[in-house]
């Protein structure tokens, strides 16, 4: 029996052009989850992330900060907030190129996964909006509906690669024929477990590795709103459009040729 193939997509700066977790800082402030000073620190962290990308130290600081911040939060309230503001804070920043690639992989029969260090409370609803049912993400620990400030699973670095291998073994996925997409060298463990790694908007270190190893490098530059994409009327593909144009020209030529003959026949 032939094993299935899959495509594993990192989320931040691969599918969307910003940090999904940091993008929520302002809605969290409006809802009373964070203070004004925490809002400003979040805005600063977003700027640093966009300019410099992620490295292990920055990711560890972000992780510890989020754990301390979220301790005691009500999980159900947070999930409801995320569902309500998802379109506002994330939807405008989804890369058209990522959407097209995911659609292509699905059309070719591959399973598509979103694999992210962001919390599953964020990744899950976003993946659902993108039509992706399979998610591997960070899981926070909670008791009696409230976050404890600890992690059950941190989907980052080596653990991200291990999680992909575990899913592949469980579901019968052929990793040698599968694909992985990421922007950061911190995701090398995930990129290295598949036969077709792709560096997307790579940071300096990942670009260097990709060039040395001959990996494909892609630059995504077209963020698009999902609502606009879902409501767009599809244009005919080039072959179909050409055929329609040729048919129209043919009909016009036939009319020009036949019109005087028909007029003479009617006159007689």
**4 in Cβ contact with 69 (< 8 Å):** no
Residue with the two structure tokens 């911190």: 186
Which distant-in-sequence residues (6+ apart) come within 8 Å of 77 by Cβ? Answer: 31
User: What's the burial of 46, exposed, middle or buried (CB within 10 Å: 0-12/13-18/19+)?
Assistant: middle
Among 88, 199, 189, 87, residue whose Cα is nearest residue 136: 189
- What pLDDT is stored for residue 143 in this prediction? 86
Alpha-carbon span 25 to 252, nearest angstrom:
60
**190 in Cβ contact with 136 (< 8 Å):** no
**110 in Cβ contact with 196 (< 8 Å):** no
Alpha-carbon span 57 to 203, nearest angstrom:
15
- What pLDDT is stored for residue 228 in this prediction? 52
The CATH homologous superfamily of the domain defined by 6-227: HAD superfamily/HAD-like (3.40.50.1000)
What is the bridge-based pairing of β-strands 223-224 and 179-182? unpaired
- What pLDDT is stored for residue 119 in this prediction? 86
Structure tokens at 211: 């060039």
Structure tokens at 160: 């991200």
Over the chain (268 residues), the average pLDDT of each successive run of 10 is: 91 84 67 58 45 53 55 76 77 88 97 93 88 93 82 91 97 97 96 98 96 97 69 41 40 44 47
Active site residues: 10, 12
pTM: 0.72
CA dist list (Å): 212 to 101, 192, 208, 217: 24, 14, 6, 12
- Kindly report the CA angle at 94 between 198 and 33, in degrees rounded to 5? 115
> Would you mind telling me the total number of residues written for the chain in this entry?
268
Structure tokens at 63: 């992780």
**26 in Cβ contact with 2 (< 8 Å):** no
- What pLDDT is stored for residue 150 in this prediction? 82
- What pLDDT is stored for residue 61 in this prediction? 55
The single-letter DSSP state of residue 131 is: T
Domain map (residue ranges) of the chain: 6-227, 236-267
E strand map for 41-110: 94-95
User: Which of left, alpha, beta for 141 (phi over 0: left; psi -120 to 50: alpha)?
Assistant: beta
- What pLDDT is stored for residue 23 in this prediction? 61
Helix H, strand E, coil C: the string for 212-234 is HHCCEEECCCCEECHHHHHHCCC
**184 in Cβ contact with 13 (< 8 Å):** yes
């Amino acid at each position: 029996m032939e094993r299935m193939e899959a495509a594993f997509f990192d989320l931040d700066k691969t599918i969307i052009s910003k940090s999904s977790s940091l993008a929520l800082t302002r809605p969290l402030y409006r809802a009373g989850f964070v203070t004004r000073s925490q809002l400003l620190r979040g805005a600063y962290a977003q700027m640093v992330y966009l300019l410099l990308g992620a490295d292990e130290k920055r990711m560890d600081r972000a992780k510890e900060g989020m754990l301390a911040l979220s301790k005691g939060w009500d999980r159900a309230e947070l999930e409801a907030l995320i569902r309500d503001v998802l379109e506002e804070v994330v939807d405008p920043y989804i890369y058209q190129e990522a959407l097209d690639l995911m659609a292509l992989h699905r059309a070719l029969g591959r399973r598509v996964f979103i694999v992210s260090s962001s919390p599953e409370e964020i990744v899950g609803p976003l993946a659902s909006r993108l039509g992706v049912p399979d998610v591997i993400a960070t899981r926070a620990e909670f008791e009696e509906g409230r976050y404890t400030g600890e992690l059950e699973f941190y989907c980052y670095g080596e653990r991200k690669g291990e999680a992909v291998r575990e899913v592949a073994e469980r579901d019968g996925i052929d990793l040698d024929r599968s694909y992985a997409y990421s922007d950061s060298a911190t995701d090398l463990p995930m990129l290295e477990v598949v036969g077709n790694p792709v560096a997307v908007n790579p940071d300096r270190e990942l670009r260097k590795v990709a060039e040395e190893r001959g990996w494909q490098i892609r630059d995504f530059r077209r963020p698009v709103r999902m609502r606009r994409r879902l409501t767009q009327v599809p244009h005919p593909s080039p072959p179909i459009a050409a055929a329609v144009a040729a048919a129209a020209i043919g009909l016009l030529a036939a009319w020009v040729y036949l019109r005087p003959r028909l007029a003479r026949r009617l006159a007689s």
